[in-house]
Structure formats: C-alpha cells, structure tokens
Amino acid sequence: MNPRIRRTLLATSAVVVAVAVSVQGASASTTSGLNYHENEAATAAGQNDTVAKQQNLGALGTGYGKTGTATVHGTLSPAPVAIAAGDEDNGSIPLATATGIGTGGRKAITATGQLGDGPHGVLGDKTGDFDFYKVTGVAGQTLTVSTDGSLASTNTVVAVYNAAGQLLASDDDGGFGLQGKLAYRLTAGGDYYVLVTGKSAVNDFPADPNNSASGPGDPDTGAYQVLIAAAPVDKDYYGVYLNKGDVLGGSLADSGKRLTVIQPNNSVAISTDLSATFSVPAVSPLPRGDVDFSYVAGKAGWYTVTVTDGFGAYDLNLVTSRPGTQTDPVGPQTFFLDFNGGEVDTAPLGGTGVSQLSGLSTFLPSWGLTAADESAVISKVVAVVKENVKTDLINKGLNPNVAVNLKNSRDDADTFGAANVSRVVVGGTPAESGLGTIGTSQSVDPGNFAHEETALVQLDLVSQPDGPYSFNSYLTPASNRVAFVGQALGNLVSREIGHLVGNFDTDPDNAVTDLMDADGNFPAFFGVGTDGIGGTADDKDVDFGKDAYSPATGLTGTQDTLNTAAWGLSKPC
C-alpha cells in the first residue's frame, strides 16, 4: 500500500508570487527573488540558534508586496579545512594523523583516505587498516565525526578514543547509507583520537588501539571522506511568515544535512535529512535538492526553518506559493473513480505502459458477492470517498473555500484527459500493471499543482482468501459484505487521493489511525471494529487528521493530513 513514485507528467502551470522588492538585509530581482545573508558571522555560533533569536525573512511570502522565492546564504560554523589524510602507517593512537584541531587554531577539518592500504591492508599482513586522527578538545565542546561524504559502496565505522585508549563512542550506519556518523560531548579537555575503519565481519575495532597490527582482519575497503569538528554545534534559525494555506518548500546546497520546520506553537511540523520532494510533479514550484522539504501551513503565523547538522557555507533556497488549484482559472479539481478497468497507461506510475486491467466486477466473487452487488458496492465506495475528501474537509478543515468534484464510471462519462481531471482506477493486478503495490499514486504533490494525474488501487491482494491485506480476513457470516468491501475500498481510494493532494505516508503502528497510514495495521485502516469483524455495527470511520510521519519516509514531525488535503483542494480565486 506504500506508493513508490517513479515518474510524473507535466500539468497546469503553477503560479508563484514574485515581485521585485528591496528590504533591509535582502536584495531582490524579478529573476532570482530575494537574496538574504545570514546575520551571524561565519566564525560565530549562538546568535540565531533559537526560535527567539531567529533571523526573520520578512519580505518572503505570498502577501501583498512580498516575494515568493529567496536564497539565504549562510554558514554553519566552523567551516572545515581540508587536510591530507596522513601517511601510512597511521593505524594506532601513537601514529595518529595530526588534524591541528585545538592546537593549530582549527576547529574542523575534512580529509580523504583509503581503507585497505598500508602495511596492514589487503597488500600487507591483512590484519585490517585503521586510520586514526588526533584532536585536542575543550570540555563542553561537541566532537562530531561523519563519513557522509564517502562513496556509497564504502561501509565505514567511526569511533572516538581518549588518550588512555578507552573507546568512548562509535557508530556504524548512523550517517547516510552505510556511513558512520556520531556526535560526542566532551566532558574534559585533552587529546582525543578519531578512528575511521571499514566494517568487519569479525570485529570493527583493534584489540589494542596503540598497536596498528592488532586488528581482527576482514574489514571493508574503499575510499572515504571524513569530517571532524570539535566546537559548539551551530544551528541557524530563519523566520518566515506564512498565511494559512501557504505552501512552503526549501532545499539545501553545499553544507547542512537537515532541514526542519517549526510551527508557531513551537512543535515540529517536518524534519528531514534527505530529499522529500522526489515524488512531487515536475510542474510544482517547490525546490529540489539532496535535502529538501515541503509543507502546507494550516494557520497563519511565523514559522521557523532551521538548518543544522553540517559545517561550512550553504545556500538555503525557499519558495512560498498559494495552492495550485487556487491559482488555476480553469475550475476546481475533479476526481474520476474508474471501476471498469480496461486499457490504462501505467507508465506514469512506474508500470509497464498501456495495460489491460481487470475491473471491479472481476473480483466480486472473491468476497462472496455477485454481479448484482456491484452497483451497491460502488455506491458505498463513492459515499466513503465523498465523506473523506469533500464533506470532512469542508466541515472540519481550516480552508473555508474547499472545492472538489467527484465522478464515477457508473454514473458519469469518462472525462479523464480534460483539464483538472485526475482519476483513481479501482481494479487490476500486478501481473497486468507491472506494479507490486495495492495503492500507487503518480505523485505526492503538496499544494496540488498537477491536476491531471492517475492513481491505482489494485484488487488482487485484498481479494485473496486470507492474509492481513485481504478483506476476507475480516468477513464472516455476520458481515454486511457490501458495506465492508465498499468501506475498505473507499478508504484505499481516499488514501491515493490524499497523496495526489500532498500527503505523505503516516505511521501505521502508533495509536492514531489516519487515512494516510502506510503498510501496517490493516484492520484499523479498513475500519474493522473491536469485534474483529468487518461490516458490523462497531466498524470505525477512518478520516484524515493529525499523525506522525511513517518512519519509512525518513521524515519526522506531525503531518496535518486533513488541512494539507483541504488546502490542496482550494476553490479558484
């Protein structure tokens, strides 16, 4: 059920508010937007490191006289100095490479090296190659070690020793992919030793850190890049005023490994150290980068964007926009629910191309239903989807101008291909489509800038005789089969629409059940009540709401799925 978005299509153009302005601390042009420079000096930390001390970007926004794009040029101090990794043998504390940190006026360095060379590497005695680096620290400083800049194929391990050879901290895969990353707070001043080595099937560390020939052998080899810093941790906070419904996107270039958005009530809206916009459609104005985010503001107020987890200069690119449907003059978004199957191009979803998909009627007997039940099932699906993506958004959301049309293949002509019409196909199997998930959407589109997309809800797994995915696991003679099958299908369809209007997966394993829950607690997502039987009086109404992001997304924070959907379905103005 967790979508894997592989390809997107161009759709209607998005409008980003952009005018030329000139404000104190920022410059602007009609082509590049605002340019801000961090107020904090490049060699300092602590001046804009909290919400209370944030640097406000007052000219950025969607209000009258504001500009919708900005670049902030900042520095996470200290900026690292590149040094040589040192000659082999540097495989022990006595032979450690001097970094100059704490003694040479430096606070951070980067170095590139090779694991597996030297007298104890693959061409030596094969006990294992260790690279040690000497650092002189001060009590209260944070010693940061990261090999995030290494080749993806190199599996690194990092560690910190004190001068007596005691292992104080270590990490295997705390960084990106197979890279090591740690932060260790120094409780006393003095000399410390950073180890970089390859992952070993036997033991990651030398038996004696003072003897470079005391390794167990069989470590991973390859090129690496290490960053080492001993300094207060710098965090840069920037304030952005958002109107309710504003779509905010940000990306980082160069330094900085994490972006976080803090809401006006000081709670974390979203935090990420990876690209969260890989699945947005090409038409979206939101910026992309190795680290990026997208967020839809439910309420007006000052929001805080933080840049953390890095050293050196960075460019923070920010974009604010109104929702795509609000700025589209054609009309409100329409979703066409297609129960007929037939020829469907699954290529935009990552499938095999034009495929012949089985319709809903093919699967009815698997649930103990007949062709005579099809219309009643469709009616239930349509009713559930209408409640989830229209009625609830109007009655419970913060957007007073929700507008959405729902049509279906039983009652309406197929208008997919017309402006502002997206569709959800209910039918098909992986063998037919080339897609292995139950639900797949063409994009995850915060702000809903692409309005002619496709989503697919396949019916093979949910129609199996049993299993956690299957509706049959919750059907008994006591079940109203039409009601339960329609309810569960309606929730699946609503979830894919939720993706198309900007929602990411939410956590299925916590106490909150949300329509955006990913693979996990299927009985709760399908609405099965406490009796464990679907289609009975105690079935639950599953809705959009507020829930934590799914850990599988790599995002943390609380996602307001109700208002993200509500603002993504705004009435044109």
- Summarize pLDDT for 460-509 with one digit per residue, the tens: 999 999 998 999 999 999 999 999 999 999 999 999 999 999 999 999 99
Nearest to 425 by CA among 458, 451, 452: 458
Q: How far apart are the first and last CA of the chain?
A: 35
pLDDT value for 31? 39
Number of structural domains found in the chain: 3
Query: Considering the domain boundaries, does residue 15 fall inside one?
Result: no
Q: What is the CATH number of the domain that holds 110?
A: 2.60.120.380
Which pLDDT belongs to residue 185? 95
What is the dihedral sign for C-alpha 280, 286, 289, 294?
negative
Specify if 154 maps to a domain: yes
Q: Is 301 left (phi over 0), alpha (psi -120 to 50) or beta?
A: left
Alpha carbons 527 and 380: distance in angstroms, whole number: 14
27-31, 89-93, 509-513, 531-535 — which is least confidently predicted? Answer: 27-31
The answer to whether residue 20 sits within a structural domain is no
- In a shared domain, residues 278 and 306: yes
* Statement: residue 3 has pLDDT above 70: no
Write the single-letter amino acid at 400.
P
* pLDDT(22) > 50: no
pLDDT band at 162 (very low <50, low <70, confident <90, very high): very high
The three-state secondary structure class of 407 is strand
Whether 285 and 356 share a structural domain: no
486 and 368 together in one domain: yes
Contacts of 288 (CB under 8 A, 6+ apart): 251, 275, 277, 278, 280
- At 380, is the pLDDT very low, low, confident or very high (cuts 50, 70, 90)? very high
From the list 564, 568, 523, 571, the residue with the least C-alpha distance to 547 is 564
Q: Is the pLDDT confidence value at 307 over 60?
A: yes
pLDDT of residue 32: 58
Mean pLDDT of the chain: 91
More confident residue, 475 or 10: 475
- Residue 14, pLDDT > 80, answer no
Average pLDDT over residues 504-520: 95
pLDDT at res. 40: 85
* DSSP, residue by residue, 329-341: TT--EEEEEE-S-
Percent of the chain topping pLDDT 70:
94
Q: Which residues pair with 357 in a beta bridge?
A: 342
Residues 361 and 260 in one domain: no
Q: How far apart are CA 303 and CA 269, in angstroms?
A: 9
pLDDT grade, residue 43 (50/70/90)?
A: confident
Q: Are 152 and 267 found together in one domain?
A: no
Query: Residue 224 contacts by C-beta under 8 Å, 6 or more apart in sequence?
Result: 112, 113, 114, 115, 147, 150, 151, 154, 156, 196
Q: Residue 519: give the domain boundaries.
A: 333-568
- Domain assignment present for residue 5? The answer is no
Average pLDDT over residues 177-193: 94
Residues 238, 174 share a domain: no
391: number of Cβ within 10 Å:
12
Q: Give the pLDDT confidence of 423-469 residue by residue, as tens digits.
A: 999 999 999 999 999 999 999 999 999 999 999 999 999 999 999 89
Give 152's pLDDT tier (boundaries 50, 70, 90). Answer: confident
My answer on whether 536 and 559 are in the same domain is yes
| pLDDT band at residue 279 under the 50/70/90 scheme | confident
Residue range 517-527: mean pLDDT, rounded: 94
Residue with tokens 């040029």: 73
Is 8 a domain residue?
no
Sequence-ordered list of residues with C-beta below 8 angstroms from that of 460, at least 6 positions apart, any chain: 363, 428, 429, 430, 431
Whether 361 is in a domain gets the answer yes
376 and 500, same domain (yes or no): yes
Is 516 inside any structural domain? yes
Residue 166 pLDDT more than 60?
Answer: yes
Reduce the DSSP state of residue 395 to 3 states and report it.
helix
Q: Which of 198, 231, 264 is the last residue of a domain?
A: 231
Residue 21 lies in a domain: no
Say yes or no: 70 and 173 in one domain.
no
d(CA 136, CA 69): 42
b (16+ CB within 10 A) / e for 464-501: eeeeebbbbbbbeeebbbbbbbbbbbbbbbbbbbbbbb
Is the pLDDT at 11 greater than 50? The verdict is no
Same domain, 209 and 342: no
Is the same domain home to 425 and 559? yes
Task: Indicate if 341 and 489 belong to the same structural domain.
Answer: yes
The last residue of one of the domains, among 231, 248, 277, is: 231
Q: What is the pLDDT of residues 98-130, one digit of tens each?
A: 999 998 789 999 999 999 999 998 889 999 999
**Of the candidates 231, 252, 285, which is a domain's last residue?**
231
Supply the pTM of this predicted model.
0.86
